[in-house]
Amino acid sequence: MIEVLAAVEGNIHHGLQAAFGCAAAAIGVGMVGMKAVESVGRNPGASGKILVQSILGMALAEAVAFYALFLGR
Amino acid sequence: MPFHTKRLSRYAILAGLLCWATSLEAVSTAPYRLAEEPLFGLPVTNSMVMSWVISLLIVVGVRVLVKRPKLIPGAGQAFVEDVLGGIRGIMEPIVGKALIGKVFPLLIGLFVFILIQNWSGLLPGVGAFGYKDAAGNITYWMRPGNADLNMTLALALVSSVGAWTYFVLRYAGPKALLYDLFGNKADRNEIPRPIYLFLFPLFFMVGIIEVVSIVFRPVSLSFRLFGNVFGGENLLVNMNEMASWIFPVPFYMLEILIGGVQALVFTLLTAVYIGLICNHGDEEEHAH
* Three-state secondary structure of chain A: CHHHHHHHHHHHHHHHHHHHHHHHHHHHHHHHHHHHHHHHHHCHHHHHHHHHHHHHHHHHHHHHHHHHHHHCC
- Select the residue from B92, B269, B279 to test the A interface by mutation, using most A Cβ atoms within 10 A: B269
- pTM of the predicted model as reported, rounded to 2 decimal places: 0.79
* Residues from chain B contacting residue A56 (CB–CB below 8 Å): 265, 268-269, 272
Residue A3: what pLDDT?
63
**Would you call B227 and A55 a contact, using CB atoms and an 8 Å cutoff?**
no
For residue B223, what is the nearest residue in chain A, using CA coordinates? A66
**Helices B164-171, B249-278: crossing angle, 10 deg rounding:** 30
Residue B263: what pLDDT?
92
Residue A59 confidence (pLDDT) above 70: yes
Residue B19: what pLDDT?
47
| pLDDT category of residue A53 using cuts at 50, 70 and 90 | confident
**Would you call B269 and A62 a contact, using CB atoms and an 8 Å cutoff?**
no
**Continuous segment of H or E residues that includes residue B106:** helix B100-119
Residue B99: what pLDDT?
86
* Residues from chain A contacting residue B227 (CB–CB below 8 Å): 65-66, 69-70
* Residues from chain B contacting residue A63 (CB–CB below 8 Å): 220, 223-224
Residue A35 confidence (pLDDT) above 50: yes
For residue A54, what is the nearest residue in chain B, using CA coordinates? B265
Residues of chain B with pLDDT under 50: 1, 3, 19, 21-23, 285, 287-288
Closest partner CB to A62 (pick from B219, B224, B272): B224
Residue B165: what pLDDT?
92
